[in-house]
Chain A
Amino acid sequence: DGGITQSPKYLFRKEGQNVTLSCEQNLNHDAMYWYRQDPGQGLRLIYYSQIVNDFQKGDIAEGYSVSREKKESFPLTVTSAQKNPTAFYLCASSISGASTDTQYFGPGTRLTVL
């Protein structure tokens, strides 16, 4: 089945630790995205990538880092510099990253800082 997978589904982190969220897609999409969702708010863009080895900051990139070494994978690292990392994180992909493309979403990862 083609789709986007995210792991783990639930993640717990102690303060001061870095954690990495996985996102993999087998849709052969060029573009991938990371969004953060907080209660009562819509999704906000953290980072996006339209091509391997290239990515751009979104609206709330501070405290996060990404890499895009393979077309299929776009991991997100939540660093200790992120002041309020508890949230639901959604990964998405689209065919080329053009604004005309529909973005398809993974099932998400719930991150909780203890």
Chain B
Amino acid sequence: AQTVTQSQPEMSVQEAETVTLSCTYDTSESDYYLFWYKQPPSRQMILVIRQEAYKQQNATENRFSVNFQKAAKSFSLKISDSQLGDAAMYFCAWVIQGAQKLVFGQGTRLTINP
């Protein structure tokens, strides 16, 4: 089965510090796309960052960056200079090239302490 695992149900960090959320996945495919989505209390899913598996360079979006380790099947999200507005559920997801279905992890609840 092709799965996504987020091993940290909850994480907390002090405002302005850095936090890393973990994600691993299991697949025999070589061509796929990885995503991190944020779900704030409003519950609307918002795309944070995406990574193409064929790219060696890690994606970055302002304070958000990923550490993509293809051989280890790991895709962690680093949030730098954490802000109160970063508090949310974070979901890791991926899709195989040619497929339409996003496969989601169980989510990590991130709390930002002022």
Q: B-contacting residues of A (Cβ < 8 Å)? A: 31, 33, 40-45, 48, 50, 56, 58-59, 88, 90, 92, 97-100, 102-108
The answer for the CA separation of A48 and B95 in the assembled complex, in Å, is 14
Q: A-contacting residues of B (Cβ < 8 Å)? A: 4, 9, 32-33, 35, 37, 42-47, 50, 52, 91, 93, 95-107
- Return 24 A-B CB contacts under 8 Å, by A number: A31-B100, A33-B100, A40-B107, A42-B104, A42-B106, A42-B107, A43-B45, A43-B104, A45-B101, A45-B102, A50-B100, A98-B100, A99-B32, A99-B95, A99-B96, A99-B98, A102-B47, A102-B50, A103-B47, A104-B47, A105-B44, A105-B45, A105-B46, A108-B44
Q: In the complex, which residue of chain B has the Cβ closest to the Cβ of A42?
A: B104
The answer for the CA separation of A100 and B96 in the assembled complex, in Å, is 9
